[in-house]
Amino acid sequence: MADALKIGIAGLGTVGASLVRIIQERAENLTVTCGRPIVITAVTARDRTRDRGIDLSAIKWFNSAEELAAKADIDVFVELMGGANGPADASVRAALKRGLHVVTANKALLASHGVELAALAEEKGALLNFEAAVAGGIPVIKALRESLTGNTVSRVYGIMNGTCNYILTKMEKEGLSFDACLKEAQRLGYAEADPAFDIEGNDTAHKLAILTTLAFGNRISADDIYLEGITNISIEDIRAAADLGYRIKLLGVAQRTETGIEQRVHPTMVPVESVIAQVDGVTNAVAIESDILGELLMVGPGAGGNATASAVLGDIADIAKSRPGAQRVPSLGRPAIKLEPYKRAQMRKHEGGYFIRMTVEDRAGVFAHIAGHMAENNISLESIVQRSATHLDTTEPKTIILVTHATMEASIRKAVEAIKGEGYLLGEPQVIRIERPRP
């Protein structure tokens, strides 16, 4: 029997407490599968007195994460505090500097400092594992970093925020407004009291930035992401999408293009018959398109104490099963010094289909005008729907919905600006991009 793998955990929130319980309750099973015992020897958390329903009596308590990382008798430092900077960052650096392996679920930390931390880990011969940082329990980091070795990835996209997917699913299934569904999500604990970070797309953007690096081998660039949240999505959009054979999901998409790598987070229409369109509620999904393997889609729980703890435990087990000493698995798929600079593709050069919903005054010739502006910009239309609430009152506002074939974002923006200039639009037009799985 090899020596026990000694673990120190910083942060005993939902995930940390789950992890302690699982490692303690399943000690025997873990010893068999990992070939050595996994033992928690050190912990730290903000509140020492709170009852977490776990037995910490045999575990050494440290006053801070930094102190634990610097001084505890451990092989692996597990960071479950969160936050891009402050104690999470300082303690992870301290641990890596000692040559300790690090496991973290902290997407903000990686999105901000991932490349530096990976370089430090590689310099010290340590592993930096972070499966739980993206899409919770879905092993997408392992798939990109290990299973897809040798593949050239063309696109990676996914539903990576359970809050948004819960709200969009509930709006569709129950015909409720965005606000009503957000309130319900908050009541159920699926959304924070201040939900902005989720519903504006920032959370998805952090995760996407990490996936982009693993998929395309560039340095992490979380600030260079085109970002649109879901607050603007109305029940009318969801209904119109359904009528046309689509569902609306908040997707993070990273894609190789001729001008660079696109990174974008926005509400997206996906064909209703696609597998990803069936991913409901808080469930996450990530699709990876590559040249040798083809398309791989993974669906699973994106959050929650247990699912996240499962991913953290998988990372710890990988360390337990590997030989001690210098490792060759590069945290970000290739050695940090070999990552390329990120070259951002111009969003106005994005090519894809678009859904455009406009409310217009019922004036003669409006429809022809709109069609004319589309034609002027060489935008070809897949479908056109014109609606009014009743057919009796011919002067009431009408809704016009256009779905375009693949076209360039710049053309769409130009056409929409021209239409806005005509003066017959009531309110802002709604523009939603369409994303299709590879045929």
Using CB under 8 A, which of the segments 48-56, 145-153, 355-363, 412-420 binds a second copy?
A: 145-153
CA atoms within 13 A on the CB side of 136: 20
Determine the Cα–Cα distance for residues 23 and 14; give it in Å rounded to an integer: 14
Q: Annotate 364-378 with three-state secondary structure.
A: CCHHHHHHHHHHHCC
Enumerate helices (H) and strands (E) in the chain, giving the number of each: 14, 17
**Residue 71 to residue 95: CA distance in whole angstroms:** 9
Is position 188 an interface residue for a second copy (rule: CB under 8 A)?
A: no
As beta bridge partners, residue 266 has: 251
Span interacting with a second copy, options 24-32, 70-78, 194-202, 417-425, rule CB under 8 A? 24-32
Q: Does 229 appear as a known binding residue?
A: no
| Least distance CB 54 / a second copy (angstroms) | 15
Half-sphere exposure of 161 (CA within 13 A, CB side): 32
Minimal distance, residue 173 CB to a second copy, in Å: 11
- Count interface residues toward a second copy (CB under 8 A): 65
Q: Which stretch binds a second copy (CB under 8 A): 29-37, 46-54, 91-99, 190-198?
A: 29-37
Q: Is 339 annotated as a binding residue?
A: no
> Quick check: 88 and 79 in contact, CB under 8 A?
yes
Tracing tokens 């996240």 back to the chain, one arrives at: 308
Per CB under 8 A, the list member of 46, 48, 50, 321 interacting with a second copy is 321
Q: What is the layout of strands, in order, in the sheet containing 60-61? A: 60-61, 38-44, 5-10, 76-79, 101-104, 128-129
Q: Is 31 annotated as a binding residue?
A: no
Amino acid sitting at position 336: A
Which run of H or E residues covers position 271?
A: strand 260-271
11 labeled part of a ligand binding site? yes
Using rule CB under 8 A, residue 26 touches a second copy: yes
The interface with a second copy within residues 264-293 (CB under 8 A) comprises 273-275, 277-279, 290, 292-293
Contact residue for a second copy among 8, 162, 300, 353 (CB under 8 A): 300
Touching a second copy, residues 3-22 (CB under 8 A): 18, 22
439 scored as a contact of a second copy (CB under 8 A): no
Q: Return the range that interacts with a second copy (CB under 8 A); candidates 135-143, 237-245, 262-270, 392-400.
A: 135-143
Q: Is 338 an active-site residue?
A: no
174 binds a second copy (CB under 8 A): no
DSSP string, 100-149: -EEEE--HHHHHHHHHHHHHHHHHHT--EE-GGGTTTTS-HHHIIIIITT
53 counts as binding a second copy under rule CB under 8 A: no
Q: Which segment (31-39, 90-98, 99-107, 400-408) binds a second copy by CB under 8 A?
A: 31-39
Binding flag, residue 169, a second copy (CB under 8 A): no
Identify which range of 54-62, 65-73, 312-320, 380-388 contacts a second copy by CB under 8 A: 312-320
- The annotation status of 215 as a binding-site residue, yes or no, is no
Compute the least distance from the CB of residue 189 to a second copy, in Å: 16
Q: Residues 97, 170, 207, 349: which is the catalytic one?
A: 207
User: CB neighbours (10 Å) of residue 189?
Assistant: 8
Amino acid at 59: I
Q: Indicate the residue among 56 and 298 with the shorter CB distance to a second copy.
A: 298
- List Cβ neighbours of 87 (8 Å cut-off, separation of 6 or more): 10, 64, 65, 66, 81
Query: Has 365 been labeled as part of a binding site?
Result: no
Q: Is 36 in the site for a second copy (CB under 8 A)?
A: yes
- Nearest one of 84, 80, 166 to 131, comparing CA atoms: 80
Task: Indicate whether 245 belongs to the interface with a second copy (CB under 8 A).
Answer: no
Report which of 208, 217, 224, 219 is spatially closest to residue 152, judged by C-alpha positions. Answer: 217
Q: 173 or 343: whose CB is closer to a second copy?
A: 173
Among 48, 338, 363, 405, binds a second copy (CB under 8 A): 338
Q: Shortest gap between Cβ of 330 and a second copy (angstroms)?
A: 7
Cβ distance 397 to 359 under 8 Å? yes
Q: Answer yes or no: is 15 a known binding residue.
A: yes
| Residue 410 binding a second copy, by CB under 8 A | no
In sequence order, the β-bridge partners of residue 358 are 400
Closest CA to 309 of 88, 33, 24: 24
> At a CB cut-off of 8 Å and minimum separation 6, what does 223 contact?
none
Annotated binding-site residues for L-homoserine read: 192
Q: Report the interface residues with a second copy, using CB under 8 A.
A: 2, 18, 22-23, 26, 29-30, 32-36, 131, 137-139, 142-143, 146-151, 273-275, 277-279, 290, 292-301, 304, 306-307, 309-311, 313-314, 317-318, 320-323, 325-330, 333-335, 338
Annotated binding-site positions for NADPH: 107
Residue ranges of the annotated binding site for NADP(+) are 10-17
Catalytic residue IDs: 207
